[in-house]
C-alpha cells in the first residue's frame, strides 16, 4: 500500500479518482480552489453545474459499487429515475423513437446534489481528506518522478498525484516545462452554447424526460427533465454558433424551433424558479496520453483533463466512473508502470464513446471537420437506423442501449438489427 495520494480537483472526476485510490493508499487528499458549500448548492468552479445532468444506468451501476446503496438512497429521497423509452421521449434526427422497454435508464438529479452527496460519502472513508479553498500551483518533480504538489497552502508530499482539474488541467504544460513529450490533441469545434433554468410545471409532463436532438439544418435541441424537489430542468442547446438567446422572449422563440407543441406548452406555462443561465462549450477535446512514450512516475491524468466530451450526449460522468473502475484494476497490479497501464485502459473506454460522439457531431453539416468515406457511410446508416427506430422496438432498443453505454457500438450493426434497418 502506498502512503499518500493527492487528487487535484474536487469535481466529479476528482471525487471518482479519489474513491478508486481508497484502499490502495494510507491517505488520500483531494485539493480544490473552491470553498465547498455545506449543502447542495452551486459553486464557481463548476460552471456547467447549472445545466441538465443525467447519470446513465451504466454509470449508476459503477457508482453503486463504489458507494453501496447510493442510487437507492437517491431514489428514496425523491430523485427521479426514468426508464428509456417507457418514461422518456427521445426525438433524434427528427424522429420520435417508439415506446419500448430498453433496459436502459437514468438517474436525474441536479449536479450540486450529486457532487455534494458523493463528496460527503468519500470524506467518510478512513484516511480521506478534502481540502478546499487551496489553489494548485504545480507538481514537485525529482528527476523523472513527481513527488508532490505545491499549493497556496504549501507543499504536499505524495507517492501519486492525479490531475483531475478538468479540461483546463495543466499537465501538458507541466510535462513540457520538465522536458517530457506532450500528448497530441484531437478536437472537434462544435461552438456550442447552453441556456438553462429550473422550472416547476403547473401539471407535470407525462414523461420524466424529453430529449430532442439537433438535425441537419437546425443544430439545436433541448432536454426537459424531472429533478428532485418536484422541479424540472430545462436545458436548451445550440451548436455551430446557432446559440439560444438569454432574454425571455428570444429564449422561448428559440425553444419553439425544436420543441413538440405539447412539450412547449408545458414549458411555457411552467413557473420559472431560476434565471436563464448560459454556458459555452467551444470544442470536444481529447488528449492522447496513451500514445506518450515517456511519462513521469507518480503522475496520472484523469477524466475531463484527458478527454472532454460534447455534453449534449450526457456521457461524461459515466465515462469518468468507468475510468475510476479501470484505475482500481490497474492499482491492484501495483504502481509499476501505472501511468502507461492506466492510460491504455482508459483509451479503451474513451475510444468508442469518442467515435460515437464524433460521428454524431459530424452528421451535422454545420460542424466543421474532415469526413472520410467511412464516417459518411456510418452516419448514413445511423440516420436510417434512427428513422426505423420510430416504429421498430428492436432497433430503438439497440440504439438507446448503445448511447447509454450499456452495449458497444457494434451492437447497432448486429445481424438482427442490420436486417431491420435495411428493410426499413
* HSE value, Cβ hemisphere, 13 Å, CA-based, for 423: 10
Q: How confident is the model at residue 47 (pLDDT cuts 50, 70, 90)?
A: low
**8 Å CB contact between 69 and 82:** no
| pLDDT tens digits for range 247-271 | 999 999 999 999 999 999 999 999 9
DSSP 291-337: G-S---BTEEE-GGGTEE--GGG--HHHHHHHHHHHHHHHHHT-STT
The pLDDT of 345-369, averaged and rounded, is: 95
The pLDDT of 394-412, averaged and rounded, is: 94
The pLDDT of 79-106, averaged and rounded, is: 93
**pLDDT, mean over the chain:** 94
Higher pLDDT, 286 or 57: 286
| pLDDT tens digits for range 163-204 | 999 998 899 999 999 999 999 999 999 999 999 999 999 988
**8 Å CB contact between 35 and 45:** no
The pLDDT of 365-383, averaged and rounded, is: 94
The pLDDT of 142-155, averaged and rounded, is: 95
| pLDDT tens digits for range 295-343 | 999 999 999 999 999 998 989 999 999 999 999 999 999 999 999 999 9
DSSP 388: H
Q: What is the Cα–Cα distance from 121 to 115, expressed in whole angstroms?
A: 10
Show the domains of the chain with their CATH numbers. 2-78+110-186+284-359 (3.50.50.60), 84-109+189-282 (3.30.9.10), 369-423 (no CATH)
The pLDDT of 387-403, averaged and rounded, is: 96
Q: What is the Cα–Cα distance from 74 to 64, expressed in whole angstroms?
A: 11
Higher pLDDT, 42 or 95: 95
The pLDDT of 346-365, averaged and rounded, is: 95
The grid cell for 43 is 459553486
Q: How far is CA 302 from CA 18, 75, 130, in A?
A: 10, 29, 18
Cell match 434512427: residue? 386
| pLDDT tens digits for range 131-144 | 999 999 999 999 99
- Evaluate if residue 43 carries a pLDDT over 70: no
- Evaluate if residue 86 carries a pLDDT over 90: yes
Tell me the whole-structure pTM to 2 decimals.
0.94
Q: How confident is the model at residue 10 (pLDDT cuts 50, 70, 90)?
A: very high
| pLDDT tens digits for range 214-248 | 999 999 999 999 999 999 999 999 999 999 999 99
**8 Å CB contact between 194 and 236:** yes
Higher pLDDT, 415 or 37: 415
User: How does 251-261 read in b/e, with b if 16+ C-beta sit within 10 Å?
Assistant: bbebbebbbee
Q: What percent of the chain has pLDDT over 70?
A: 99
pLDDT at residue number 45: 65
Residues 6+ apart with CB under 8 A from 330: 338, 341, 342, 345
pLDDT at residue number 151: 95
DSSP 218: B
Amino acid at each position: 500500500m502506498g502512503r499518500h495520494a493527492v487528487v487535484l480537483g474536487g469535481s466529479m472526476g476528482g471525487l471518482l479518482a479519489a474513491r478508486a485510490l481508497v484502499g490502495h493508499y494510507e491517505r488520500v487528499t483531494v485539493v480544490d480552489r473552491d470553498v465547498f458549500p455545506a449543502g447542495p448548492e452551486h459553486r464557481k468552479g463548476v460552471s456547467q453545474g447549472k445545466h441538465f445532468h443525467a447519470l446513465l444506468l451504466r454509470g449508476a451501476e459503477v457508482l453503486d459499487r463504489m458507494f453501496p446503496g447510493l442510487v437507492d438512497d437517491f431514489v428514496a429521497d425523491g430523485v427521479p429515475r426514468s426508464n428509456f423509452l417507457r418514461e422518456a421521449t427521445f426525438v433524434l434526427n427528427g424522429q420520435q423513437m417508439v415506446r419500448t422497454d430498453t433496459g436502459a435508464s437514468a438517474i436525474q438529479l441536479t449536479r450540486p446534489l450529486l457532487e455534494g452527496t458523493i463528496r460527503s460519502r468519500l470524506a467518510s472513508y478512513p484516511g480521506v481528506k478534502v481540502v478546499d479553498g487551496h489553489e494548485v500551483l504545480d507538481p514537485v518533480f525529482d528527476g523523472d518522478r513527481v513527488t508532490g504538489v505545491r499549493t497556496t497552502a504549501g507543499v504536499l508530499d505524495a507517492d501519486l498525484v492525479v490531475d483531475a482539474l478538468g479540461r483546463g488541467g495543466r499537465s501538458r504544460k507541466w510535462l513540457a516545462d520538465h522536458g517530457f513529450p506532450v500528448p497530441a490533441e484531437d478536437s472537434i469545434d462544435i461552438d456550442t452554447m447552453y441556456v438553462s433554468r429550473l422550472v416547476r410545471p403547473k401539471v407535470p409532463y407525462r414523461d420524466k424526460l424529453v430529449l430532442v436532438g439537433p438535425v441537419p439544418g437546425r443544430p439545436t435541441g433541448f432536454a426537459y427533465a424531472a429533478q428532485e424537489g418536484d422541479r424540472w430542468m430545462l436545458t436548451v442547446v445550440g451548436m455551430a454558433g446557432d446559440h439560444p438567446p438569454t432574454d425571455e422572449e428570444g429564449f422561448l422563440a428559440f425553444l419553439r424551433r425544436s420543441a413538440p407543441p405539447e412539450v412547449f406548452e408545458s414549458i411555457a406555462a411552467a413557473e420559472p424558479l431560476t434565471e436563464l443561465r448560459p454556458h459555452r462549450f467551444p470544442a470536444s477535446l481529447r488528449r492522447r496520453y496513451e500514445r506518450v512514450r515517456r511519462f513521469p512516475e507518480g503522475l496520472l491524468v484523469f477524466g475531463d483533463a484527458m478527454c472532454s466530451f460534447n455534453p449534449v450526449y450526457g456521457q461524461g460522468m459515466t465515462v469518468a466512473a468507468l475510468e475510476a473502475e479501470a484505475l482500481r484494476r490497474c492499482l491492484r497490479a501495483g504502481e509499476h508502470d501505472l501511468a502507461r497501464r492506466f492510460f491504455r485502459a482508459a483509451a479503451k473506454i474513451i475510444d468508442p464513446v469518442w467515435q460515437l460522439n464524433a460521428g454524431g457531431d459530424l452528421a451535422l453539416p454545420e460542424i466543421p471537420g474532415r469526413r472520410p468515406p467511412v464516417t459518411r457511410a456510418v452516419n448514413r446508416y445511423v440516420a436510417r437506423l434512427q428513422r426505423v427506430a420510430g416504429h421498430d422496438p428492436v432497433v430503438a432498443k439497440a440504439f438507446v442501449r448503445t448511447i447509454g453505454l450499456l452495449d458497444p457500438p457494434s451492437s447497432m450493426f448486429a445481424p438482427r438489427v442490420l436486417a431491420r434497418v435495411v428493410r426499413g
